[in-house]
Amino acid sequence: MIEKDVVIIGGGPAGLTAALYSSRGLLSTVLIEKAIIGGQIALSEWIENYPGFPNGISTAELTNNMKKQVESFNTQIMMDEVTDMETLDRGFLVKTWGEEIKTKGIIFTPGASPRKLGIPGEDIFTGRGVSYCATCDGPFFKDMPVLVVGGGDTALEEAIYLTKHANKVYIMHRRDKLRANKIIQERARKQDKIEFIFNALPQEIVGDQKVSKMIYKDKITEEIKELEINGIFIFVGITPNTDFIKNSKLEIAIDERGYISVDKNLKTNIEGIYAAGDVIKKSLYQVSTAVGDGASAAFNLQKYIEESYDE
């Protein structure tokens, strides 16, 4: 068993910033990450709307810099998975596979994961043509036609990235108006390799050993159509990573869509527990807003700890 002032769960931009503020505020801090430091931004190659980098910056470099910065203030980074959490008489107990940590406060920054389409063939062909990460899998489709499903920022940005590898990139959207930011729409429309298929409802992914077709329904004519492609990249939104919280002994308020409910200070329904980043409901999901939330959550938790543990 170890003791820390603050446990931060999730190593994306929100968690790394919370760790920076917490450890720089001289609270002993551990950040627990079960998979990849960087979180969802690791799924993209480049970011150009994070301030301070006029030419953009690679997400790997940005993450690496954030990690180095928190380590320089003595945050302990633990690559492990949280298995349970509970309230103690004072503070909380966080259990991972390898450790038990007694703490005064917790900040949840577990982020979100790509949402699935939920159609036949999606699960069977995941890793065999179906992907949720263009940076990871794009190079497998050199000079082949691929399909991107979705009409948001992620779908369009990743479709533009995929034009580097594929010889044709279809973007299939369920409406005739895109959700993505206008600047990204404009950029995608200028790409010769990109072709939009609007009012199209994905029905089934088919293939043999690997993906060969997407079957979809034309929403206007109700006709069932087929599109021959080698890869399908699905970007239809995100789902907050809160199952591990629901399955723990902590009774954190989580809304019907899985987001953690917080007040304006990013405090959850439990004193001493805060949340930040893509796991909370908000109007703008960006690295810049995750970073802001992470700083506020850590600052407010520090105030709580100073007031409650002033013995």
CB of 238 to ligand NAP, least distance (A): 5
Q: Which is nearer to ligand NAP, 1 or 118 (CB)?
A: 118
What binding mask, one character per residue, do residues 30-49 give for ligand NAP by CB under 6 A, x or -?
Answer: -------------------x
Interaction between residue 280 and ligand NAP (CB under 6 A)? no
Count of residues that interact with ligand NAP, criterion CB under 6 A: 20
Q: Could you confirm whether 136 is annotated as catalytic?
A: yes
**Minimum separation from the CB atom of position 193 to ligand NAP (A):** 20
Contact call for residue 135 and ligand NAP (CB under 6 A): no
Residue nearest to ligand NAP (CB): 152
Window 165 to 224, contacts with ligand NAP (CB under 6 A): 174-175, 179, 202
Q: Given 5, 84, 89, 133, which residue is catalytic?
A: 133
Per-residue tokens: 107: 């900040």
Span of 131-139, 146-154, 211-219, 250-258 interacting with ligand NAP by CB under 6 A: 146-154
Residue of 153, 160, 275, 289 interacting with ligand NAP (CB under 6 A):
153
- Find out whether 246 and 273 touch, Cβ atoms under 8 Å: no
Sign of CA dihedral 35, 40, 304, 306: positive
Pick from 12, 110, 150, 292: which binds ligand NAP (CB under 6 A)?
150
- Rule CB under 6 A: choose which of 162, 285, 295, 305 binds ligand NAP: 285
Q: Is 89 a catalytic residue?
A: no
Residue 123 a catalytic site member? no
Nearer to ligand NAP, 145 or 152 (CB): 152
Q: Closest CB to ligand NAP among 68 and 177?
A: 177
Residues 90-129, mask of contacts with ligand NAP (x by CB under 6 A): ---------------------------x------------
Residues with a known catalytic role:
133, 136-137
